[in-house]
Structure 1
């Protein structure tokens, strides 16, 4: 169980409270009868609970990429604090006696192995699983409903434009919010969220001119989204056999929830991926009514910067695992890549952790973009598309980091090109002031992860530093 580290156990917990509760069980000596299988694939133990009998828990790692956790407690949180405590006890060095694998677990392992054997037999025989057939009648009906919903959204936007932003007051926003709720009946949750974002901007207490500028940008985005969506769905209505669009994020922006099987069938998955997290942040999306856990990752094989996002609705946040910073390398058994652009969203179902080494950081440094003009060209090509993410993130190799007489920092590439650094409005969290704390060895010949934003007022493209990759670490500036 070399892969079982404190970071790995932390990653299994639903939230910070679960981590604390699991570690408290170890601190309070609540765990007893601790045992481990001789081959290192199983941990068992008992934990004192509120009842007369202790809870019996086990962590089965016979398949390290897909561990099985069992506990006799009634908790709906999984893994529960007793299972977390069992694993924290192991990684903290508490003694575990060698024990036989309990018969009930051995029986369950045997059944699982038989299921896997059947799958292997099917694979050897070349019999592929039968794909689910699309119910064309249901698809046509759904598409018609989506187009009807688009018409409602277009009318709402048109009325807002015709009345003018200056006439919007609390009463208007409340009325539009009630009408926006109707969009939830038409299978277009992405468009509904875009409209909510616009209303949230209009209801903001920012200075009026700033509010107008941001609201106008949202309206332009929503107009483009509605236009592209109508074209796309009208084509699908005429031809129900039209495949899902995998060349852009349009399907997701309309509201399609990609299934992993769909991504796999379309070649948007590959095995054996190793990812190093370069930045992480959690924030509230008031318009969506959700917490968002967002991580940026460097994939060692491809050199791409991917993003992970976990959405936790306010009402159900305590039941959904809260993501956190990850400092080990994630070895994903299968990496699923959602349709997107520079920073495609990714997901994995099974993974193990590996200790980062010199080669890990060398891979990131060699994979960074070395020419700032090339990087800026990529950014501009993306943000000029109305529906594209307006805040792409790139890993940039720099020859040195310099500061002018006013204290403003800039990166210099190998050709002498400069890229000014500045805090951007979108993140709402400054980082450039932290650059002065970097060690002098880390301001030359390294790489920086930066998020870009186009400033409409100045017409400048700003880049805010998120982290610096050195020869032996990732120095994170954003938390």
Structure 2
């Protein structure tokens, strides 16, 4: 089942916690007091945590197991990792003697670990054989010609529904411009929500989300007519792109399909050996956000050999945190397959060839390089909001009388990037404290609203913001 894993840092553990409440509760459980029979080995950490009941909670963390960290706890929490797993990992990360090195896990932990790793091995075997458990026949082989024909018919029907929805949306945009933007300020959300619902019915979630966002612009403050016109233009461009897919070069057509909501199955991507890229991937940042009733998790990676960025996106339903989690600042030897597009960024994580290990500090670039990278990506994908970039030798500068907001200033040039709205005060002051007035390396996303910092490096240690 593997050997002893490299200990994570406390920052890496905290980056895995699903929310602030779990971080706080986990910190309280990071002392030896409530723990017994704690141990580590075979690529895992386990322990019994005293709770409010008679029986202690059985907590197990599989540090890798071929599919990233996994968590099992007998507590009733629906969060992954729960506070007990966070507390146990913090105790282990601190090198406390309570978590002793062991050659074998106790029976109550070994059963779950073995089962999880056996399932991972079976999935990897199926992927290697080109089967992904999708629309295969009863024998588990490749889809039959009849199944492929049925799949084509379903795809054609969906394409027709989306096209009809795009044409209806085009008419709505034309009516808006014909009547004048001033009327949009009085219409409220209802009409846009109704139109977004029609896009959902047309099986075009990408068009639905962009349509719904238009309703909030009239209440966004001074200058809203210009912003509304710009967003309507982008929506019109997306509509027209889908209605004229056959006229577009394939990379751009793939981008349009993805923006509309026609996605490629991750298993299909990973089944294509030529599409997989193996590299030492540095985990730059992890961020969770609420999207309706779902929790969306974004994990940014950077390939040491390829120099490419990758974005992993996963979801958790009904208040549950997504299962995919990687410690920020660590690096992992893994396969990655990019979703098709004019400027690929989103990717699917494939086989991991070892557990996460201590990472490295990315080299990064200067402020003009960040702007150039975003401009180049935006030219390929006009619906792009931002692009990941690592800035080197920048200093966080708080607002001054002649400057309205925080900036990241180049240490050796008279250049600065404004920090994006929405950057929390906690992140801003943490960034300033890490810097102490000295230049540092910062990862974030560079876009039309500024630079959104996600992680900073204090010497060789990654600190999530």
Counterpart Cα distance in 2 of 1:326 and 1:42? 15
Match of 1:240 in 2: none
Deviation at 1:254, TM superposition (A): 0.5
Which is worse superposed, 162-171 or 294-303? 294-303
2:66–2:120 Cα contact (<8 Å) kept = no
Counterpart Cα distance in 2 of 1:55 and 1:25? 12
Match of residue 5, structure 2, among 2, 9, 16: 2
Aligned: 1:53 with 2:55: yes
Distance 1:475 1:438, change over 3 A: farther
Match of 1:458 in 2: none
Match of residue 82, structure 1, among 43, 66, 84: 84
Aligned: 1:175 with 2:227: no
Match of 2:331 in 1: 330
Match of 1:185 in 2: 201
Distance 1:386 1:426, change over 3 A: farther
User: Residue by residue, what CA displacement relative to the aligned partner does 1:131-185 show, whole Å, maximum 9, x if unpaired?
Assistant: 5554122222222221222222222212211111012244354223223222211
Distance 1:118 1:201, change over 3 A: closer
Aligned: 1:253 with 2:259: yes
Counterpart Cα distance in 2 of 1:89 and 1:151? 58
Q: Any residues of structure 2 matched to 1:337-376 within 5 Å, and which?
A: 337-340=338-341, 344-348=345-349, 352-356=355-359, 360-361=360-361, 364-365=362-363, 368=364, 372=368
Distance 1:201 1:428, change over 3 A: farther
Aligned: 1:391 with 2:386: yes
1:382–1:388 Cα contact (<8 Å) kept = no
Deviation at 1:216, TM superposition (A): 0.9
Q: Any residues of structure 2 matched to 1:86-105 within 5 Å, and which?
A: 86-92=88-94, 93-96=96-99, 98=102, 101-103=105-107
Q: Any residues of structure 2 matched to 1:6-405 within 5 Å, and which?
A: 6-27=10-31, 29-32=33-36, 34-36=37-39, 40-60=42-62, 63=65, 66=68, 68-92=70-94, 93-96=96-99, 98=102, 101-103=105-107, 127-129=129-131, 130-132=141-143, 134=148, 135-171=151-187, 173-202=189-218, 204-207=219-222, 210-232=223-245, 248-265=254-271, 267-277=274-284, 296-308=300-312, 316=318, 318-321=319-322, 327-340=328-341, 344-348=345-349, 352-356=355-359, 360-361=360-361, 364-365=362-363, 368=364, 372=368, 379-384=374-379, 387-395=382-390
Greater C-alpha radius of gyration: 1
User: Residue by residue, what CA displacement relative to the aligned partner does 1:364-400 show, whole Å, maximum 9, x if unpaired?
Assistant: 32xx45795x776654444345734153344467899
Deviation at 1:409, TM superposition (A): 8.5
Query: Aligned to 1:319, what secondary structure does the other structure show?
Result: coil
User: Residue by residue, what CA displacement relative to the aligned partner does 1:313-367 show, whole Å, maximum 9, x if unpaired?
Assistant: 8xx4x422599996522315333433456671345376844334xxx33xx32xx
Match of 2:138 in 1: none
Match of 1:239 in 2: none
Distance 1:386 1:470, change over 3 A: closer
The TM-score, its normalising length taken from structure 1, stands at 0.70
User: Residue by residue, what CA displacement relative to the aligned partner does 1:62-108 show, whole Å, maximum 9, x if unpaired?
Assistant: 83654554333343333333333333333340424658544465566
Distance 1:52 1:340, change over 3 A: same
Counterpart Cα distance in 2 of 1:116 and 1:136? 31
Distance 1:409 1:52, change over 3 A: closer
Deviation at 1:190, TM superposition (A): 0.4
The TM-score, its normalising length taken from structure 2, stands at 0.72
RMSD: 4.9
Which is worse superposed, 163-172 or 113-122? 113-122
1:8–1:353 Cα contact (<8 Å) kept = no
